[in-house]
Amino acid sequence: MLLEEWLRAHDGAAHSSDIYAAGFSKHAIAAGVRSGRMLRFRRSWIALRECDSAILAAIGIGGRLTCVSAARKLGLWVPAHSGVHVAVSPSAARIKTEGLRVHWSTGPAPAAARAVVDPLINVLHHVARCQELAAALAIWESALNKKFVDAAVLERIEWHSERANHIAALCTKLSDSGLETHFVDLMRAIGVAVQQQVWIDGHSIDALIGDRLVVQLDGFAHHSSPADRRRDIEADVRLRLRGYTVVRFDYYQVLFQPDLVQNVIRAAIAQGLHRAA
């Protein structure tokens, strides 16, 4: 394996001592730097030219990428955010924090001394402490849905954090997206029980309240074509003909108009639309 390939498999950057331990020589490093494909960073670090700037920022203060920054790198659902989230030792000092969100905690899982990205368990630990409950829950469930971790494992971890323990207890594998998690959290706040991923008419619906109130949720990238829109209209009509009331909310409404969503559901329940005739 070439050094360039090895670095790419290790998040694009590594300490020179780890590179030597992997069997690469000083000559391989020097050749990579001369070619312009690699660069030296903080004297003892070597990074690919295309290395993620967030990882370089973490290395720059002697930390690891974590929280929503690491979650995004892992391909998990994350909310819009600013700054790079970096985990550092609680004893770290003289750190320049401009443009960074520094987490002064190590998390429950051990990490290699020169790791550039936190282990997933620590990422979830920081997410629980940093993000609002609905967003944190959505990220955790995204990790479950991608099968990066199992719910039974999360429940047994000693989080040493009330928020993380609470999120571990709430997590399910039923949300297809962070959007569904937000909706369930909104309903839980007003005492409404939700069934997720229920099969009706040969198709999975996002949420069912009671016996007859169907809620469909349209994500940020939903309805990318007229064909998608026609498919949704047909599905809604088929449900209505079978005696269901269908309510559809989009990404913006669920995330930024929670009162509207809750009030619509309250009114629907008050009218008995959730009950079978």
> Is residue 276 included in any domain, yes or no?
no
* Beta partners for residue 159, in sequence order: none
Residue 42 pLDDT more than 90? no
188 with 232, same domain: the answer is yes
The pLDDT value recorded for residue 87 is 95
Length of the chain: 277
CATH of the domain at 249: 3.40.960.10
> Is residue 138 included in any domain, yes or no?
yes
Instruction: State which of 150, 169, 188 marks the end of a domain.
Output: 169
> Is residue 275 included in any domain, yes or no?
no
Average pLDDT, rounded, for the chain: 90
92 versus 200: the higher-pLDDT residue is: 200
State mean pLDDT over 212-220: 85
Total tally of structural domains belonging to the chain:
3
> Is residue 149 included in any domain, yes or no?
yes
Please give the Cα distance from 11 to 50 (Å, whole number): 10
137 with 237, same domain: the answer is no
The pLDDT value recorded for residue 63 is 93
What the block records as the tokens of 262 is 């809750």
80 with 153, same domain: the answer is yes
219 versus 15: the higher-pLDDT residue is: 15
Residue 230 pLDDT more than 90? no
Instruction: State which of 169, 199, 217 marks the end of a domain.
Output: 169
What the block records as the tokens of 47 is 């990074």
Largest CA distance in the chain: 78
> Is residue 277 included in any domain, yes or no?
no
% of the chain residues with pLDDT over 70:
95
63 with 84, same domain: the answer is yes
153 with 79, same domain: the answer is yes
Model confidence pLDDT, tens digit, residues 72-128? 999 998 988 889 999 998 887 777 778 899 999 889 999 998 999 999 999 999 999
What the block records as the tokens of 244 is 């269901």
Instruction: State which of 169, 202, 232 marks the end of a domain.
Output: 169
Q: How confident is the model at residue 243 (pLDDT cuts 50, 70, 90)?
A: very high
226 with 186, same domain: the answer is yes
Where helices occur in 52-149 by DSSP H, the ranges are 53-60, 67-73, 120-130, 133-145
The pLDDT value recorded for residue 203 is 85
Residue 222 pLDDT more than 70? no
The pLDDT value recorded for residue 256 is 82
Q: How confident is the model at residue 164 (pLDDT cuts 50, 70, 90)?
A: very high
Neighbours of 115 (CB within 10 A): 20
Q: What is the pTM of this model?
A: 0.75
62 with 164, same domain: the answer is yes
Please give the Cα distance from 262 to 266 (Å, whole number): 6
Cα–Cα nearest to 246, from 220, 264, 227:
264
Residue 193 pLDDT more than 80? yes
State mean pLDDT over 23-37: 94
Q: How confident is the model at residue 223 (pLDDT cuts 50, 70, 90)?
A: very low
The pLDDT value recorded for residue 225 is 65
Please give the Cα distance from 38 to 47 (Å, whole number): 5
- CA angle, 201 as apex, 192 and 216 as ends, to 5°? 40
The pLDDT value recorded for residue 18 is 95
CA dihedral 124, 119, 103, 94 (to 10 degrees): 180
The pLDDT value recorded for residue 253 is 87
Q: Which domain holds residue 155?
A: 56-169
137 with 227, same domain: the answer is no
> Is residue 155 included in any domain, yes or no?
yes
Please give the Cα distance from 85 to 88 (Å, whole number): 10
The pLDDT value recorded for residue 221 is 47
